[in-house]
């Protein structure tokens, strides 16, 4: 039940379910005949209420229905970020249903957070030598190395008023992270929420996430570590001068774990299916597999050209 009161249906004229309408000799309705059928003065109101009920039920169905979107790995980093924002806007404007998106990188890249400076966080010379893309996210957080072989990325995008997603940021991280935690449990891995936005296994980090909110919708995108190469990360990201590379590498190995360590024979399809089940359980949703809408394609093209691929955006903190 949806908790809506549609009121009583109109009662049958006459008694014992039998029609007792009479027709006047003039062939027109007889206003003096109490059994003559007349339009209910509340008909328009009832229709309006029913339309509103149907509209509200449609919104509930939209919240329960999620699109599964799998992006092609050939997209570059700037295009990936443009698609995230295009879907966020489409969901916010009611053009698209809530979405679970999976994507990977097909070449190495470095992502910096919205508030960071490339010159302070990234070894740009090394990135240029190795053709490593550098891009700015629309979400906050720290700089990270994106490894084509080392991670699966996801985005969960839904209205802020989704019944399973708290408006409080700290609580919403915890609840959305349960989609991943439940998914890992499906493949026999016990993980837990840690800090603001991390997921750990026995105290070692396996996933991190970041959020943004726009026009009444929320997007959380995150990374699940399949493998980890700290040497590459140190090569492309700057470390504090007082810290030695060996010490940083050792600390990272102690603090981080991967699915390769936890489940060496795990394949990507099994992982995605587990994450779908985890999301379905946590957000009480059903999935339909769809691509981007035409509006989302056009919007992501626009965002790619005018925002994410521009020097103005990527160097905005310099």
**Domain layout of the chain by residue ranges:** 59-314
Residue among 283, 248, 304, 106 at smallest CA distance from 178 = 283
pLDDT grade, residue 107 (50/70/90)? very high
Other CB atoms within 10 A of residue 272 CB? 17
Residue 12 confidence (pLDDT):
34
Does pLDDT of 20 surpass 50? Answer: no
CB atoms within 10 A of CB 75: 18
Q: Which residues pair with 248 in a beta bridge?
A: none
Euclidean distance between CA atoms 22 and 17, whole angstroms: 15
What tens digit of pLDDT does each residue of 60-99 get?
455 589 999 998 877 899 999 999 999 999 999 999 999 9
Rounded mean pLDDT, 105-121: 97
Residue that has been written with the tokens 């998106």 in this structure = 101
Contact between 224 and 214 under an 8 Å Cβ cutoff? The reply is no
Tell me the C-alpha distance between 205 and 92, whole Å. Answer: 31
CA separation for the pair 92, 85 (Å, rounded): 10
Fold classification of 59-314 is BirA Bifunctional Protein; domain 2 (3.30.930)
pLDDT tens-digit profile of 220-264?
999 999 999 999 999 999 987 666 677 777 888 899 999 999 999
| Tokens (6 digits) for 116 | 């960071």
The pTM of the full predicted model, rounded to 2 decimals, is: 0.80
Using CA atoms of 194, 198, 201, 204 in order, give the dihedral in degrees to the nearest 10: -100
Q: Position of tokens 């919403």?
A: 172
pLDDT of 40 above 60? no
**pLDDT for the residue numbered 242:** 62
Instruction: Give the tens place of pLDDT for each residue, 140-198.
Output: 999 999 999 999 999 999 999 999 999 999 999 999 999 999 999 999 999 999 999 99
- Give the three-state DSSP class for 1: coil
Give the other-Cβ count within 10 Å of 32's Cβ. 7
User: Could you tell me the two tokens for 316?
Assistant: 């905005």
Cα–Cα distance, 104 to 225 (Å, whole number): 11
The percentage of residues in the chain with a pLDDT greater than 70, rounded to a whole number, is 79
């Amino acid at each position: 039940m949806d908790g809506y009161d549609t009121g009583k249906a109109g009662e049958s004229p006459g008694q014992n379910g039998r029609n007792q309408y009479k027709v006047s000799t003039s062939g027109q309705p007889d206003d003096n005949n109490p059994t003559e059928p007349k339009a209910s003065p509340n008909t328009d109101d009832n229709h309006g209420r029913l339309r509103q009920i149907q509209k509200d039920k449609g919104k509930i169905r939209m919240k329960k229905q999620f699109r599964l979107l799998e992006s092609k790995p050939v997209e570059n980093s700037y295009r990936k970020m443009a698609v995230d924002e295009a879907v966020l806007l489409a969901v916010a404007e009611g053009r698209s249903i809530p979405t679970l998106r999976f994507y990977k990188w097909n070449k190495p890249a470095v992502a910096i957070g919205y508030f960071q400076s490339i010159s302070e966080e990234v070894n740009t010379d090394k990135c240029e030598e190795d053709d490593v893309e550098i891009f700015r996210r629309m979400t906050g957080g720290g700089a990270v190395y994106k490894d084509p072989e080392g991670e699966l990325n996801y985005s969960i995008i839904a209205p802020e008023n989704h019944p399973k997603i708290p408006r409080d940021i700290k609580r919403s991280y915890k609840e959305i992270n349960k989609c991943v935690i439940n998914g890992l449990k499906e493949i026999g891995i016990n993980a837990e929420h840690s800090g603001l936005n991390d997921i750990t296994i026995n105290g070692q980090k396996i996933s991190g996430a970041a959020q943004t909110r726009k026009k009444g919708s929320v997007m959380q995108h995150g990374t699940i570590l399949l493998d980890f190469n700290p040497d590459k990360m140190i090569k492309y990201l700057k470390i504090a001068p007082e810290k030695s590379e060996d010490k940083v590498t050792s600390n990272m190995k102690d603090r981080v774990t991967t699915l390769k360590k936890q489940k060496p024979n795990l394949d990507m399809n099994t992982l995605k299916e587990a994450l779908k089940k985890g999301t379905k359980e946590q957000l009480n949703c059903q999935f339909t597999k769809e691509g981007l809408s035409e509006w989302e394609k056009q919007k992501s093209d626009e965002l790619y050209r005018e925002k994410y691929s521009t020097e103005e955006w990527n160097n905005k903190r310099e």
